[in-house]
Amino acid sequence: MPVARGHGPRNAAATAFLVGLALAGTAPARAAAADGTVTVTVVRDVNSDGSHTPGLELGEPGILVRLTDDAGGTQDTTTDAGGVATVDPAAGPLTGGRYRVEVVIPAARSFLRPAPAGGPAPSLSPPVAFVDVRGGRNATVLAGVHDPADYCHATPLLVTPCPRQGAAGTPDSRAVVSWPYDRAGTPTVEAVTGQVGATYGLAYQRDRDRLFVGALTRRMAGYGPAGPGGVYVVDRAAHTVSTFATVPDAGTAAHAADLDRDSLAVNNAVGREGLGDLELSADGRTLYVVGLRARALYLYDAAGPTAAAPERIVPVPDPGCPTGPDDWRPYGLGYHDGAVYVGGTCTAERSQKREDLRAYVLRFDGTAFTTVVAHPLDHRRGTRPGDTYWRPWQPTYEPYNSADGTFDDPDVPGRGWFRQANRPQPILSDLVFDRDGSMVLGFRDRLGDQAGRDAPGPVGAVDQQRRSLDPAMGDVTRVCLTADGYVWDGEALTCPGHPPTGPQQPGVHEYYPDAGRASGGLAFAPRFRDTASTTTTGTRTFDNATGRANGDFAVDNGFGRANGFGDLELLCAPPPLWTGGRVWFDRDGDGSQDPSEEPLPGATVTLTDPAGARTATTDQRGEYRFPVRPDTDYQLRFDATTADTSGIPDRPDAAALVPAPAARGTERAVDSDGPVVNLTSGAPGVNDHTHGAGYQLPPPATPPPTAAPPRRPAARGDTGSPWILGGSAAGLAFLGVGATLFVTNRRRMRLG
């Protein structure tokens, strides 16, 4: 039982002395050797539904688990790689066999929040639970955490840019489209060419239903109104499209008036000018944009309708390209566990040696970059026509690899003026994270943005009259997170390759073997088992467990197999938000949830906001919960008169219970807040299970003071001071909560 609060220093010594006497001979026993163990499993609730889905929702490592006994003693441990922590109270300092269990998210994992609780079985417990392991009983607790940024509802939309080629890109032609994730229905136009031009990067602000879109430098598709640095915002709720920001100094190459050919300058600027990927912070308030020309990360305040200038410009450092920093090209972005990740390529443009190609992924924690993946790109790839290797970036228009021959149009033999463009140049354009922390990398073929569908070369280029066919050959690569770090697919049994459904080059082992027509855009939410990728004809989904292609969705586009699509984004709803807590019988009236104190099922809790009132009844654990709206003022009122007190010794009348002291101590998660709580809800997914209310029996009534009997002149009078200030207290008994003890020098004590 916690020490009573509120006594000043004058009485500290006397208080300690009294407590020592009162408890003499009755100290709580240490945990008995025969007592059971407590096993706590913490899972990441990717569905945010308060329930555990085995096989989908994995254990969360590194979470602190604390057991507390009635005397205030604690025993801590941390969840292992599988999210499990087992505590043997008999091996530690705990006493009594009944314990409070707290699941505490450490500061290093502050991107996590308590998950909702009380969903369908197997239901998740709130972060504070209570167990009894006396007499050899073992106890288990299943608790949940989640990252609100991971959440997606079951039926989202997918969205992607789809620029039109050449003269077909009229102001009214579609430029950004969306369709259901289940690949049903007809795509919906989100923006047209006259509003945004050619774009690649996407980021979705879910709480405001706004889509950010970034300018793309590619041949045969012009910029939007804001030029190569244009960032546009599609306000889906207001049905408007406008310029949000203009990234400074994003490019100088000008498109030709004849977009059916376009300029050699734009061809050469692909991957070097304009914008790369876009990403939003977990709270949706910071927009990250890759500026290709500056090789920098631009950070914008995303709260308003526009942003005049970036809040920060952070250069993305060369991670160690063999040919020097001039060949370092950052492009892709991803978010995971509170950090932004930048993907980029060492292009080998200076050396023109395939062995100098590299892929890098850098982690940005808001202050500095750390390299987490580095891998050469000189390996053979499978299921691709013509050239099966990545090639160094070309400084000018040269889409054909003479070493691999010339290909006639397969549909019209003998059309020698047709030549299949076949010099794939890697751009690491996107990255997502699977539930286990493994990465999925999307590679875009730069040649697809330089060439076109049945298109001649740019004005001024060598061999400009020959027309290209099917030029883009991107890829999807898995980088597995193992106990030894990240492993590139096909290079270890811990990250195996899989056989393709179609032809494969000898000796090639890829995790996703049927990704040879990828366009570099990826989308994934942890509640799904598949990663979606843009392809030359629309999208394809890949099973992350097997690597197999699960299905395609065809979307008409103007560039065909020449990178007809940009980034891919899921339009996920905001995560649900819950508030709740526990109502309990506070035996000692200290306002804190002690482990052996009983819950009060059946108590009534009323939640009120300007829209009205709702009520809930506490369950058998004394717990309640309400769904609430973000950033909204509420009031909670607790009523214990309806509670079931059958589990409390002597079964007191519920109507006789009174509120325990509120807001005692610093442990907000376990103190009493009732009987009335005014609160403001948090951001989406920031659940709060700490609004508890304790109830106790009223303290015994204090009788009025009586006159003291006459004293003999030589005797000392009553001190009249609480606790013990002098004299003897031998044989003193513990008198109960609410009693005040007075001691005289005549060994007489009275209650007042």
430-453 pLDDT, tens digit per residue, is: 999 999 999 999 999 999 999 887
Cα torsion angle, 259, 261, 266, 269, sign: positive
| Burial bucket for residue 368 (CB in 10 Å: 0-12, 13-18, 19+) | exposed
Question: Tokens representing 375?
Answer: 């891998």
- 636: helix, strand or coil: strand
Domains (ranges, CATH) in the chain? 1-30+700-752 (no CATH), 31-148 (2.60.40.10), 157-571 (2.120.10.80), 579-698 (2.60.40.10)
> Residue 189: which H helix or E strand, with range?
strand 188-192
Query: Is pTM, for the whole model, over 0.75?
Result: yes
Q: How far apart are the first and last CA of the chain?
A: 23
Best CA proximity match to 457, nearest among 165, 216, 273, 220: 220
Q: CA 281, CA 14: separation in Å to the nearest integer?
A: 56
Could you give phi then psi for residue 371, rounded to 5 degrees? -75, 125
Q: In this structure, are residues 266 and 458 in contact, taking their beta carbons and an 8 Å threshold?
A: yes
Q: CA 272, CA 265: separation in Å to the nearest integer?
A: 11
727 Ramachandran zone, left/alpha/beta (phi>0; psi -120 to 50):
left
Q: What is the DSSP string of 471-520?
A: ----EEEEEEEETTEEEETTSBTTB--B--SS---TT--BSSTT-TTEEE
Q: What is the DSSP string of 17-76?
A: HHHHHHHTT-PPPBPPTT---EEEEEEE-TT-SSB--TTTSPB-SS-EEEEE-TTS-EEE
pLDDT of residue 388: 80
Q: CA 597, CA 248: separation in Å to the nearest integer?
A: 63
HSE, CB side, 13 Å, CA atoms: give it for residue 516: 25
Question: Tokens representing 181?
Answer: 């994730």
Count of C-beta atoms within a 10 Å radius of residue 651? 10
What are the helix and strand counts (H, E) for the chain? Answer: 4, 44
pLDDT along the chain (752 residues), means of 10: 35 32 42 84 98 97 97 96 96 94 97 97 98 96 98 97 86 95 88 97 98 97 97 97 98 92 93 99 97 99 97 98 98 98 98 97 97 95 72 83 44 47 90 97 94 80 62 90 90 72 62 85 97 93 91 85 93 98 96 97 98 97 98 98 96 97 86 95 97 94 67 42 32 33 31 36
The torsion angle over the Cα atoms of residues 366, 369, 372 and 378, rounded to 10 degrees, is 130
C-alpha 430, offset from chain centre: 18
Cα torsion angle, 243, 248, 251, 257, sign: positive
pLDDT of residue 29: 53
Count of C-beta atoms within a 10 Å radius of residue 102? 20
Q: What angle do CA 306, 685, 694 make, to 5 degrees?
A: 135
Strand partners, 104: 64
Q: In this structure, are residues 467 and 419 in contact, taking their beta carbons and an 8 Å threshold?
A: yes
Question: Tokens representing 193?
Answer: 């060419």
Question: Tokens representing 195?
Answer: 């509003």
Q: Using the structure block, give the residue that is written with the tokens 């916690």.
A: 2
Can you list the alpha helix ranges (DSSP code H) found in 237-357? Answer: 264-269
C-alpha 309, offset from chain centre: 28
Q: In this structure, are residues 113 and 687 in contact, taking their beta carbons and an 8 Å threshold?
A: yes
Best CA proximity match to 673, nearest among 591, 750, 597: 591
pLDDT of residue 668: 86
Q: In this structure, are residues 528 and 521 in contact, taking their beta carbons and an 8 Å threshold?
A: no
Best CA proximity match to 574, nearest among 112, 158, 151, 145: 151
pLDDT of residue 380: 87
pLDDT of residue 588: 94
pLDDT of residue 699: 83
Question: Tokens representing 385?
Answer: 């026509």
pLDDT of residue 463: 60
| Burial bucket for residue 108 (CB in 10 Å: 0-12, 13-18, 19+) | exposed
Best CA proximity match to 292, nearest among 330, 343, 265, 243: 330
Please tell me whether the peptide bond between 376 and the residue prior to it is cis, using omega within 30 degrees of 0. no
Q: CA 419, CA 749: separation in Å to the nearest integer?
A: 109
> Residue 77: which H helix or E strand, with range?
strand 74-78
pLDDT of residue 74: 96
Distances (CA, A) of 521 to 5, 485, 493, 566, 664: 60, 25, 27, 6, 53
Beta strand 38-44 pairing with 139-146: parallel
